[in-house]
Structure 1
Amino acid sequence: SQPSVGDFQRAYQSLAAETGRILSIHVSSGFSGTVEAARQAARALGERCRIEVIDSGTVSMALGIAVIAAARAARDGADLDACAEAARSVLRRERLTVGLDTLEYLRRGGRIGRAQAFLGGLLRLKPIITIRDGEAFPLARVRTRRKALEEMLTICLADDAIAEAVVMQATTPDDAAYLAEELRRRRPGVAVHLGRFGPVLGVHGGPGMLGLLVVLAEEPRAQP
């Protein structure tokens, strides 16, 4: 279950004893009430501490990579606003592709969103979706698992300017290893990480769920 308002109040109060600024980044409000609980707790704390709550609009390592970016900014001495922007910058540049064996688990969990349009004609096809703001959006559908892997690579590598990538899996480590190997081969020099979907996402996506996340490189800043 999600953290309660009281859980957040206790966490914020503990941190407020050491700092006057807190950055709190969370899973998409489309999937969980965590963000709203965090906001209520932040309001309850009042003026004692500035708390910036960010709804990531995403899940899993798509959220994790943004949190890591904020943590790196903080480590380098950035202030709260700059740390928040570091996270938001990553979130804006993310491209998430998810391959499923079936949409049935999303349908049962009420998370199918606009991918509902795929249901009628799927038959034995493998759906490929993306997730935005807690809703599933259809991208493609293919007949075999291997074609699904190739289509995921094609979608995510459509942009050449990739800074880093993450492959996520729940029950398919061999497929994840294949995607990671292909990413490294096709985009030498791009950092490729391996991660796992948590049990909640695994329940919604079903066995065989596989994710491919790329973070596009930042555009060069214009010279003054």
Structure 2
Amino acid sequence: MKKNLLLTVGFIFFCIMAGATSIYNIQYTNSRGADNSYPSPYLGKQVTVEGIVTAVNFNGEGYFLSEPVSGAWRGIYVLDTEHKPKRGNYLQISGEVAEYFGMTCIRNLNSYRVLDQHRSLPTPVIINTNQLTNPLEAEAYEGVYVRLVNVSVSSIKSKNGKFMVNDGSGPCSVSLGNFGTKTNLPALGTQFLQISGIVTFSYGEYTLNPISSDDLQIQQPVYIQTRSWGSIKSLYK
């Protein structure tokens, strides 16, 4: 009986997986498209996708899914205000592939299932700042959970939380507050050990969006305590 039950569960799981399209297949393209936004080859088609929720409440309109092992082309935006998943939920959704201001997304959901409540988040993919400036490279990380390391603020774009950072390979854009959490704008020249977040595309630009203040780790200055000559002499009195 136990063996039959395991076989039944395994068969159901296989059927679920068999009907799913990978995020990678939906996102991967090397065609710029008419508007240079690299549209999905699945544009306008109905798909079923499974993935881990990496970020929620993006501008109050949706959330991001990732394949369990993160990497290029393995994240996607879901335009959905009806459901309220949590980070770490493992979902199976069905809907239409569309372009939202040039960013590939899934919208008009007709199916939504939480397959697991507590999945570990994928490890952020480490990239350099120049990879978010080059359109073809940056497109591969649209919707993906990534991390920049050893960067400094090279310019402030606006008082609304947008600034540029550089690791020496070239500047890229960072935008704060898009996931509903307020974070203070860093000063020009601020150095970060790392900045993590989701890459998005809009208005012709790829941008890294930290999910919370925990995603910005400032490099703390190192202070060297020195002893005055007078203090040293006092030790020998």
Normalised by the length of structure 1, the TM-score is 0.24
Larger strand share, 1 or 2: 2
| Higher RCO (CA 8 Å, separation ≥ 6 residues) | 1
